[in-house]
Amino acid sequence: MTRLAVTSLAALALFGLDAAPAAAQLTTTFVSEARGDNANPCTFVAPCRSFQAAHDHTLSDGQITVLDPGSYGPINITKSISVVNDGIGEASIPVSGGLTGISVNAPAGGGYVNIRGITVQGIGFGGGTGLRFNSGFALTISNCVFRNLTQDGVVLFSSNDALVSVSDTLMNDNGRYGIEILNTGGSKLKVTLTRIEASHNSFGGVFVNGENAGSVVSATVSDSVVSGNLGQGLFARSIGAGTANLMVLNSVASYNFTGILAQATNATVRIGQSGITGNISESWDNSSGPAKVLSYGDNYVDGNGDGDPAPPSIARK
């Protein structure tokens, strides 16, 4: 009998379960469409039905794990947490009515948020925004899809200094930008985009926007594709003494209206080892101020509607 009791407790620990009452928070919670119920404690044996219910049952620095394919509803994240689907099938958040699929309002000083393997899909009726990052220290997005939203696929609008990493993620077919990186509050936002695709969006693919004095947005794009956007493929803009820096390496900007655009005083785009082709309008346009598009001299620029002028070169070091 004693051995059985010990074994049972070990099994509970193995699956992230807790012998405490249902209201207790756990380090690992679970969601399931097949057998979930939001009245459950979100354990492996008794999973919840929605991401929000699981979030509310999860301790800070804990994890929500998806057990089977399904639609799990929007989530407002207010703590350090991971939301993880590691290949069981599509775990989706349908968005309509102008709502936001994932809202991140984590603590500015120590909020670490990780989103992996989630699809946020606009389903009509004003499909809203895929993910909006308002606050938090660090955000990691990997293996996700944000598509068919009426607004941005992803918008990063942090009110504090923050670090964001996005990898292996699709941001297509949205009504505004694939990803909009905006800073207006005098803070520093640093973003790394690796192996992303931002295509077929109505405004543009990747938009880096620094507004107001002291606001700095710095972003790198590598091994990525921005294609078929009705506006700009890659766009850096600064307004009101803000700063926008965009580094593009080993990537493709193709079949957009404008391939690469830098606009206003403190906007700089640097490109290297990248292909710029098939864009309808100018490949780069500095017409709205002393912005800079600079090349490391090793890009492939051909077949654009402006005759393929070479941007000013900077030395490789």
Report yes or no on 27 lying in a domain: no
Report yes or no on 22 lying in a domain: no
pLDDT of the residue at 113: 98
Average pLDDT, rounded, for the chain? 89
Report yes or no on 125 lying in a domain: yes
The residue type of 126 is G
Q: Does position 238 have pLDDT exceeding 60, yes or no?
A: yes
24-60 pLDDT, tens digit per residue, is 799 999 999 999 999 999 999 999 999 999 999 999 9
Report yes or no on 142 lying in a domain: yes
Higher per-residue pLDDT: 125 or 259: 259
Whichever domain contains 193, its CATH number is 2.160.20.10
CA triplet 279, 285, 288: central angle to 5 degrees? 145
Q: Does position 316 have pLDDT exceeding 70, yes or no?
A: yes
304-313 pLDDT, tens digit per residue, is 998 888 888 8
pLDDT of the residue at 278: 95
262-302 pLDDT, tens digit per residue, is 988 789 999 999 999 999 976 565 544 577 899 999 999 99
Report yes or no on 209 lying in a domain: yes
The number of distinct structural domains making up the chain is 1
Whole-Å CA distances, 86 to 46, 128, 167: 20, 26, 15
Report yes or no on 315 lying in a domain: no
Q: Residue 283: which domain range?
A: 61-302
Percent of the chain with pLDDT strictly greater than 70: 90
85-128 pLDDT, tens digit per residue, is 998 999 999 999 999 999 999 999 899 999 999 999 999 777 79
Quote the CA–CA distance of 94 and 121 in Å, as a whole number.
5
pLDDT of the residue at 285: 56
Report yes or no on 241 lying in a domain: yes
159-202 pLDDT, tens digit per residue, is 889 999 999 999 999 999 999 999 877 789 999 999 999 999 99
pLDDT of the residue at 17: 44
Report yes or no on 117 lying in a domain: yes
Quote the CA–CA distance of 190 and 305 in Å, as a whole number.
33
pLDDT of the residue at 240: 79
pLDDT of the residue at 85: 98
Higher per-residue pLDDT: 84 or 242: 84
Q: Does position 83 have pLDDT exceeding 50, yes or no?
A: yes
CA 68 distance to own-chain centroid:
23
Quote the CA–CA distance of 299 and 317 in Å, as a whole number.
16
Residue labelled with tokens 């607004």: 151
Confidence of residue 317 (pLDDT cuts 50, 70, 90): confident
Confidence of residue 16 (pLDDT cuts 50, 70, 90): very low
Q: Which of 7-11, 126-130, 144-148, 193-197 has the lowest mean pLDDT?
A: 7-11
Confidence of residue 67 (pLDDT cuts 50, 70, 90): very high
Q: Are 229 and 200 in contact (CB under 8 A)?
A: yes
The residue type of 127 is G
Strands laid side by side in the 100-105 sheet: 75-77, 100-105, 129-135, 154-156, 177-183, 204-211, 232-239, 258-263
Q: Does position 12 have pLDDT exceeding 90, yes or no?
A: no
pTM exceeds cut of 0.85: yes
Under 8 Å CB-to-CB from 4, ≥6 apart: which residues? Answer: none
